[in-house]
Amino acid sequence: MNKMFSRVAVAALATAFATEAMATEWNVSVWGKRRAFTEHVEKLAELVSEKTNGEFTMNVSYGGLSKNTDNLDGISIGAFEVAQFCAGYHPDKNRAITVLELPFIGVSNLDEEVAVSHAVYEHPAVAEEMAQWNAKMLMTSPMPQYNIVGTGEPRDELSDFEGMRVRATGGLGEAFRAVGAVPTSVTSSEAYQAMDSGVVDTVAFAQHAHLSFGTINKADWWTANLNPGTVNCPIVVNIDAYEALSDEHRKVLDESVPESIDYYLENYAKLLQRWDDVLAEKDVEKVMISDEELAKFREVAGQPIHDKWIADMSAQGMPAQELYDLVFKTLEEHRASN
C-alpha cells in the first residue's frame, strides 16, 4: 500500500514539475497608462492566457521596466520579452520603418494604417534591421493622423507656423520644420509639462494621446484637418524568447495578433466617435484649415521630404524606393479589395 502511495506521490510531483516547465511568463514594456494605444497589447495578453489555460502569461508594465525611448535596447539585451516603441524615438536604429512616418503619404484611416504597416514590417530589409536588435515585428499600434493643440490664437494659416515650437517627432517634425516651425522631440510623457512650462507652443498627437497625456486640458484650439501624417509604433518580441516558445504557444501568439488588432480598431473607433464631445466639454475650438493652406503645406512638406528620404536612405544602402513603393502599392490594393 505504501509503495502504491509513493508511486502516486512521485507521479503527482512529476506532473507538477512538467506543468511548471511548460509555463511561460513574459514581461511587456510599454509606458504612460493603459489607453487606446495599448489596448491591443492588453488583449494579446488576455488571449494567450485564455487559449493556453494560463500556461502562457504576459505581464504588461507601464514604465516599470524601461523608459519608452529605451525599449528597443531592452529588447536587444533580453531585459523583457515584448515592447512597444515609436520609430521617431531613434530613427537611426529603425531606418526602414521610418517610411511609414513620412508626411502626407495619404493614409486615410486606421484599417489602411494597419495594412501598410504590416506590409512594410514583412519586408526583408525590416526583418534584417530589427534582427540587429534581437527584435521581431509582432504588430503595429495604428494611430490616426496627428493634429495639433495649442494655446492663444488659433494657427490656421501656414504663415502662423513660422517660429512655432511644436512637439513633433520623426517625419512629422520634418514637415513642420519645412514650413518654418521649430520641432522638438520630447517624449509623450513629457509633452504636457513642455506645454505647461512654455517649452513648446503646440503639441502634435493623435486623439487618444491628447487625452491620456493631458495636453487637451491646456488647449484653446485643435486642428481638425491638418492631418500631416502619423508616427509608427510597433510591438516587437525578443527573437530568442519567440524561438524558445513551444510550437503550441508560438502558434497561439501568432494567431492572437489579428484578433488583438481587431479589438484595438473597435475600441479606437469608440474614442473617435466621442471626440467632438470631448472638445465641447473642455471648451476647445475646432479649427479647420482651408484647402488652399493645406495644399501649400503638402507642396512644401510632402514630396520634397519623400524625395529626400529616398535619397538619404538609398545612400545608406537601404532599399528605399522599394519600401516607398510598397506603401503606395499596398494602399492601392487595400482600397481595391474593399
- Please tell me whether residues 207 and 333 are part of one structural domain: yes
Provide the number of structural domains found in the chain: 2
| Residue 203 resides in a domain | yes
- Please tell me whether residues 133 and 153 are part of one structural domain: no
- Please tell me whether residues 323 and 181 are part of one structural domain: yes
Cell of residue 225, nine digits: 484637418
Average of per-residue pLDDT values in the chain: 92
pLDDT confidence of residue 7: 53
- Please tell me whether residues 225 and 303 are part of one structural domain: yes
In contact, 228 and 104? CB cutoff 8 Å: yes
pLDDT confidence of residue 188: 86
pLDDT tens-place string over residues 123-145: 999 999 999 999 999 999 999 99
CATH number of the domain within which 107 lies: 3.40.190.170
| Residue 3 resides in a domain | no
| Residue 300 resides in a domain | yes
pLDDT confidence of residue 6: 54
Of the candidates 271, 293, 321, which is a domain's last residue? 271
pTM exceeds 0.95, yes or no? no
- Please tell me whether residues 53 and 109 are part of one structural domain: yes
How far apart are the two ends of the chain, measured CA to CA in Å? 70
Closest CA to 174 of 109, 228, 223, 222: 228
Confidence of residue 20 (pLDDT cuts 50, 70, 90): very low
- Please tell me whether residues 131 and 184 are part of one structural domain: no
Q: Assign 3-class secondary structure to 110-135.
A: HHHHHHHHHHHHCCHHHHHHHHCCCE
| Residue 19 resides in a domain | no
pLDDT above 90: percentage of residues in the chain = 87
Please give the Cα distance from 130 to 76 (Å, whole number): 9
Q: Assign 3-class secondary structure to 19-60.
A: HHHHCEEEEEEECCCCCHHHHHHHHHHHHHHHHCCCCEEEEE
| Residue 68 resides in a domain | yes
Please give the Cα distance from 89 to 172 (Å, whole number): 12
Residues 6+ apart with CB under 8 A from 223: 147, 148, 154, 155, 156, 287, 289
Confidence of residue 185 (pLDDT cuts 50, 70, 90): confident
| Residue 80 resides in a domain | yes
- Please tell me whether residues 204 and 247 are part of one structural domain: no
Q: Domain limits at 314? A: 147-230+283-337
- Please tell me whether residues 167 and 266 are part of one structural domain: no
Closest CA to 30 of 2, 72, 73, 71: 71
Residues 6+ apart with CB under 8 A from 1: none
Count the Cβ atoms, other than its own, within 10 Å of residue 14.
Answer: 10
Alpha-helical regions (H) of 136-228: 170-178, 191-196, 207-212
Of the candidates 215, 249, 271, which is a domain's last residue? 271
- Please tell me whether residues 209 and 164 are part of one structural domain: yes
pLDDT confidence of residue 176: 95
- Please tell me whether residues 196 and 240 are part of one structural domain: no
- Please tell me whether residues 158 and 305 are part of one structural domain: yes
State the Cα angle at 49 between 48 and 52, rounded to 5°: 80
- Please tell me whether residues 200 and 237 are part of one structural domain: no
| Residue 18 resides in a domain | no
Q: Is 260 left (phi over 0), alpha (psi -120 to 50) or beta?
A: alpha
Of the candidates 271, 294, 327, which is a domain's last residue? 271
pLDDT tens-place string over residues 30-88: 999 999 999 999 999 999 999 999 999 999 999 999 999 999 999 999 999 999 999 98
| Residue 303 resides in a domain | yes
